[in-house]
Amino acid sequence: MNSSMRRIVYLSTATRLMSDLELMDVLRVSRENNTRDGVTGLLLYQGGNFIQLLEGESAAVDTVYARVMKDPRHHSVLRMLDNESPERLFPGWSMGFRPTASLGDELKQEIAEFIIKAPQEATTTDGRRALRLVSSFVQSMR
Ligand SMILES: Cc1cc2nc3c(=O)[nH]c(=O)nc-3n(C[C@H](O)[C@H](O)[C@H](O)COP(=O)(O)O)c2cc1C
């Protein structure tokens, strides 16, 4: 049933620092569209960087990702992970959001490291760090 499930994790840089109101606007539209398109995922925002995980049926994820990449509110999008996955990590979240200030120190450190190492690691294919980061995040939610 989920044979063509796809997962993308990317990192990007906000064109300018986002206010809470602007972030909420991105989230509102994302949740509406993603509910319609059967896409779930997670958005992290830390110090001017976005990390987003998108998961769902492959064609749907492609469409959303293509639309998001063109958004002028961010740039320098680095795809850190793009693979097939048998199941969703965030099945109930049309777009989960966490301001990173609310996260534990270890996770914050992992996010900081992820952002620093991203330019080198985006060119490698396995997305190991992206996967580890997202897994830690899922653990912290339990
Ligand atoms: C960091 C970031 C993440 C986004 N994530 C999503 C998303 O998950 N789903 C989505 O539909 N739009 C997302 N958007 C918004 C899209 O870029 C675009 O503005 C929106 O999909 C247009 O929707 P509309 O045609 O319904 O107005 C995101 C934008 C930014 C800046």
pLDDT digits (tens, 9 = 90+) for 103-131: 899 999 999 999 999 888 876 657 888 88
- CA-nearest residue for atom 24, ligand 1, is 29
- In angstroms, the CA 75 to CA 141 distance is 29
67 lines ligand 1 (CB under 6 A): yes
Beta bridge partner(s), residue 96? 42
61 lines ligand 1 (CB under 6 A): no
Half-sphere exposure of 67 (CA within 13 A, CB side): 13
Question: Could you state, in order of their start, the residue ranges of all structural domains in the chain?
Answer: 5-140
CATH code of the domain made up of 5-140: 3.30.70.100
Q: What is the pLDDT of residue 88?
A: 93
pLDDT in tens, 18-57: 999 999 999 999 999 999 999 999 999 988 999 999 999 9
- CA-nearest residue for atom 6, ligand 1, is 30
pLDDT in tens, 67-112: 999 999 999 999 999 999 889 999 999 999 987 888 899 999 999 9
31 lines ligand 1 (CB under 6 A): no
For the cut 60, the answer to whether the pLDDT of residue 5 exceeds it is yes
pTM for the full model? Answer: 0.93
71 lines ligand 1 (CB under 6 A): yes
- CA-nearest residue for atom 27, ligand 1, is 29
36, with CB counted inside 10 A (0-12, 13-18, 19+), is exposed
